[in-house]
Structure 1
Amino acid sequence: MILSFFALPIFLTPFQGRTIQSFYQVMNDPGYETISWAKENTHNDSIFVSDAHYGWWLSGFAQRPTLSAVDPQFLTLEREFEPAQVANNLLDTNYVVDNGLIQVREDGGYIGRHNPMFLAKLNWTYFPYPFFHFNNAENTILVKIDKRYELFDLMQLETSEMRIQNSSNQVSIQIKKSNDYLNYTQNITVYSGVRFVDLSIIIESDLLNVSIINANYLLHTKGELLEIENSVGFIDQGSKVLGQIIFDENQLRYTQVTVENPSGFYLTYLFNEKNNLKIDLSFGVFSVSDDPEIYQTEESRNNYLMQILYSNLLSYQEVLTNSTIEFFSYSEAISDWNISYVACRDFAIFPKFVADPGFHLVFINDEVAVFRVNSYFYKKE
C-alpha cells in the first residue's frame, strides 16, 4: 500500500485528480476546483497562506509556495516553525503580543470577535489559555444628539487606523474608529516582564450638540467571580487559572450576567452627558497552585485567592522577568513574507478579510475563498 501510494504521480490532470480524491476521500470537488483556479490564474511565484491540510494540496497540486498553518506539535524541523506560526496567526487574528507571562490577541477593527483577547501562559501546556475577551459587536455607546438618543455598537464605527508600536520594553496596539458623532481610540500595552496588560480607551465627541450617556462592554470570561476593592477576580478552578481586572471604581458599574463557566460580565461606564471620557483597565491571567489542600473548603480556597488578588493591587506594575516581547503584526508579516494570496476555509473569519481594504476577494465556492493581497497597502518602507 505504501509503495503504491508513492508510485502515484504528484501532479495530475483534473480527471486523475478527481479519481485520486474519490479513492482517498481527502479532497472534495470545491477544494480541487480552487486548486485548479490557483494554478491557472496566479503567477508561479505567488505565495499562498492556508490551513495545515489545504496548504499541503495547494503546494503540491497547484505548485505554489504555501505557508501552511501547521500546529507546532506536528513540526520537527526548526525552519518550519516560523512560517507555520505566521500562517496560524494570519488566519486567526491581526495582532499578537506575548511577553512570556501573558499573551494578547487583537482582531482589529474589521471583525467583532476578539477585541481584544487575554490569554494565560501556563507551565503545563505549549498553548496559551484564553480567559478574557471582548467582542466589538456586543459593546455599545449610548449618545444624546440634540434631544434624541442613539445607540451604536463598536462595529458601526469605521476603522480609520490600526498600528502596532514597539520599543525595547513595551509593545502597544492602537486602533482608532469613528463615525459622524464619536471618536474612539483604544490602546493595549504589553510590558516586558510584567504580568498585567493595560487597556486604555478614549471616547469623545467634537460636536457641541452631542453628549455621551454611557458605554457598555460585555466581557466574556471563565471562572467564578471574586470581588475586592477596585478589582475583580475570576477563578477557573478546574484549570487552576486566576484572572484579575483592576480599574478605577469611580468610573465603573459592573454586573455579572451569567455565573456559568464561561460567563458574561457587564462593564458600564457612566459619562453623565459629558463629551469625553478615558477608561483605564489592567488585565492579568496566571496559574495558581494545584495543591488539593487549598481547595478542600471554600473558605481556604477564597483566603488563598484573595491574598493573591490583594497582593496584585500593590504590585501589578512590577517587572518580574527580563524576557523579551514577541509580537505579530499581520501587515508586517504580509510584507516580510511577500504573501500574495490567502486561501481561507473558515467562513467564521471571512469578515476579517472581506472588510479589510488590504484584501480583495478573487475566488469563492462552497468551501474555499481566495483573497488577493492588495500589495500597495503593505509596501515595505
Structure 2
Amino acid sequence: MNYSLLDFCTLIGSLGLFLYGMKLMSEALQKVAGDRMRAILSAMTKNRLTGVLTGILITALIQSSSATTVMVVSFVNAGLLTLVQSITVIMGANIGTTVTAWIISLLGFKVSISSIAVPLIALAIPFVFSSNNKRRYMGEFIIGFALLFMGLDGLKTNAPDLNANPSMLAFVQNYTDMGFLSVLLFLFIGALLTVIVQASAATMAITLIMCANGWIPFELAAAMVLGENIGTTITANLAAIPANVSAKRAAFSHLIFNIFGVIWMLVLFYPFTHMVSFLVERMGVGDPRDLIEFARSIPEETMQLIINNSSELTAEQAGLHEQYLNYQVSTSYALSLFH
C-alpha cells in the first residue's frame, strides 16, 4: 500500500483537529473557572502540601499543565506568589497532567468516542449560541471534547503501516536496535516533538499510535513519554522571558524538576518498565511489550481491516481485532504511568 500525499495531509489534519479540540476544551474550562481558579491559587498555596494539591486540582480541571504553569509564572511576576509557593504548585501540575493521559488512554482506545462525536457536536451547537456565558462555554467544551477524539481516531486510522513499507521499517529499526542509546535518542525525539507541538498530550497520543502500529517497541515509547515531560516545560519558560527574575526562576524550576525526574527514571529505566508491564498484564489486558511483535506478525491487508474495525472481518480476524485492542489498551495504560 502506497502512502500518498493525501494520506499524509489527512494525518496532519487529524493532528490539527486533536490540538484544536484540546485548545477548545482547555479555554472553555478556563473561561468557566478562570477567576475561581485564580482565587483558589492565591488562597491554597499557604503551605507546601496545599500548594501541590492546588497544582493537581487546577491542572486536572483545565486539562493543561502548560496553562497552569503559565498562570503560576504570571502570579509570581505580579508578586502574588513567592518562588517557593510557585514550585509546589508546579510539582502538583506535573501530577495533574497525567489525568489528560489517562482520559486519552481510557476513552481514546478502550471506548470509541469518535462514533458519537458528531451527535455530541449537534448537542452542543444550541449551547454555543446561548446568551448565557456558562452555557456557551459548556457548548465549546463539548465540541472540543468531540473534536479531540475525532482527531485521535483520524491519527489511528491514517498512520502509515510500516509493514507495507519494508524500506521505511528497516530505516526505523536501524534506530531502535541500539540498546540504551536508542532510549536516549527517542527521549530526545519526544522532547523535540513536544517543543514543536506545544502540547504533551498530543505528543503522548502520537507516541501511543506509533507503538500501537508496531513502529517502535514499548520501551522506546516510554522513553518518548519521558522526553515529553521535558519538552512541555518550554511553554512556561517562553512566557517568563519578559517577566521578572522570580518568575524566570519559577519557570526554570519546572524544567529542572522535570529533568531530574527523567534522570532518576533513566537510572531505573529497565526495572521500572518491567514492573509497569507486569502490573498492566495483571489487569488482564496483555503485556504491552508483546504489541510490536503482534502488530508485525499480521499481514498488511488484515492489519488495515483490524485498525479500521471493518465490518468485513471474519471470525478469526474479529478475534485478532479484540486481541489487538487489548494490546492497545495495555500499552496506553502503561505509557500513562510514565507521563
For normalisation by structure 2, the TM-score amounts to 0.25
Which structure carries more relative contact order (alpha carbon 8 Å, separation 6+)?
2
Instruction: Indicate the structure (1 or 2) with the bigger Cα radius of gyration.
Output: 1
For normalisation by structure 1, the TM-score amounts to 0.23
Give the number of the structure whose residues are more often helix, by fraction: 2
Give the number of the structure whose residues are more often strand, by fraction: 1
